Amino acid sequence: QKKYDYLIVGSGLFGAIFAHEMTKQGKKCLVIERRSHIAGNIYTENVEGINVHKYGAHIFHTSNRAVWDYVNSFVEFNRFTNAPIANYKGKLYNLPFNMNTFYQLWGVQTPQQAHDKIEEQRAQYSHITDPQNLEEQALVLGGKDIYEKLIKGYTEKQWGRPATEIPAFIIRRLPFRLTFDNNYFNDTYQGIPIGGYTALIEKMLEGIEVKTNTDYFSDKENMDALAGKVVYTGKIDEYFDHQFGSLDYRSLRFENEILDLPNYQGNAVVNYTERDIPFTRIIEHKHFEFGAQPKTVITREYPEDMSEGKEAYYPINDEKNQQIYQKYKALAGQLPNVIFGGRLAEYKYYDMHQVVEKALDVVHAQKL
């Protein structure tokens, strides 16, 4: 008889939901976490009374009522709506592309005028019938003004290369809204947990044994011996000792600053869309929670290549990496007592609501 039913490697959203649900079923769980804190990439840290999103801005959004009710059963969510602003050479534009943006770009005031203007801009590229790269694709879909002011520089910074060297399929369509609606997401439900995401994960892990600063691979054999099954939410290539090579990721560098003023930019997210400014955006954390603290915390976000010691943020969804991932997945399939789940173990860009859905599916399968 082992001491635990489940050893859960990683205290992010996936691991926390799994541990919570299984504990509720009377199973014994141990959660181990390599970092010094719980909550994985949704970790928020209280700085000057402000919940700072330490691993990037996180906005919860879903159209799945069950998922929304599920997360709200732990902590209440606020009414935050993501409405980012773009700054291009000192001029501000609303995002996503909507009537406000078209007014700011061209002075057009009606949907018909905006439609005609976009068509006029696109017509200049109608000779491009088979776009070969992101630049051509974006010009065909939206024309020169939108591409040059709002897409080009931002995307080049994100990818670390010129738009002419980024594959066209990255942009399949450009969502144009002919309404004055700055809400970035189309989902039915949206918000931020009151008290921050760490409070959400703390609630999920209430009464469950958690060991932080504990790396699974520092003592894998002994840890495996503790439990009947392992739930692994770390990088899948690391689990298999990189035997088929390392999976690629994009990383980010965050530069945080506490400012002695109550309001720096008046919005949670401002994108900097010109190439010459090295960061892609500035996050002002207090605005996720309508904060009225005397100080403010801002974060400049710099996209970076992945290298030793950096956090893996975005899986690279290209053929080479998918092939490597499929090999690891096949190996994982041969381990009946190890469950691979979450963003890093499935090498998939999951949003939070998708992680919730996925984790609850896996829990359900365990109960059968």
Question: Nearest distance from residue 114's CB to ligand FDA, in Å?
Answer: 28
Give the SS3 label for residue 259. strand
Region 244-273 residues binding ligand FDA, contact defined as CB under 6 A = 252
Q: What is the DSSP letter of 42?
A: G
Omega before 96 cis (within 30°)? yes
- Of 49, 16, 25, 33, which Cα lies nearest the Cα of 211? 33
Q: Which residues pair with 34 in a beta bridge?
A: none
Question: Nearest distance from residue 54's CB to ligand FDA, in Å?
Answer: 10
Give the position of tokens 């994009």: 250
The one segment of 85-93, 151-159, 163-171, 211-219 that binds ligand FDA by CB under 6 A: 211-219
Among 34, 122, 203, 250, binds ligand FDA (CB under 6 A): 34
Q: Which residues pair with 51 in a beta bridge?
A: 46
Among 7, 8, 12, 152, binds ligand FDA (CB under 6 A): 12
219 CB-side CA count, 13 A:
11
Q: Please tell me the total number of residues recorded for the chain in this structure.
A: 368
Catalytic residue among 33, 156, 301, 346, which? 301
User: Known catalytic residue: 249?
Assistant: no
- Of 33, 175, 154, which Cα lies nearest the Cα of 85? 154
Q: Please, which residue, 146 or 355, has the CB nearer to ligand FDA? A: 355
Site string for ligand FDA, 276-315 (x = CB under 6 A): -------------------------------------x--
Region 155-184 residues binding ligand FDA, contact defined as CB under 6 A = none
Distance from C-alpha of 32 to C-alpha of 38, rounded to nearest angstrom: 9
User: What are the phi and psi torsion angles at 282 (to 5°)?
Assistant: -120, 130
Are the C-beta atoms of 247 and 237 separated by less than 8 Å?
yes
Report if residue 58 touches ligand FDA, rule: CB under 6 A: yes
Among 7, 22, 42, 83, binds ligand FDA (CB under 6 A): 42
Q: Please, which residue, 59 or 105, has the CB nearer to ligand FDA? A: 59
Token reading at 98: 């909507």
| Rg, the chain, Cα only | 22
User: Known catalytic residue: 301?
Assistant: yes
The one segment of 56-64, 68-76, 132-140, 329-337 that binds ligand FDA by CB under 6 A: 56-64
Among 32, 71, 85, 146, binds ligand FDA (CB under 6 A): 32
Residues near ligand FDA (CB under 6 A) are 9-15, 32-35, 40-42, 55-60, 215-217, 233-234, 252, 313, 342-344, 350-353, 355
- What residues act catalytically? 173, 177, 250, 281, 301, 349, 351
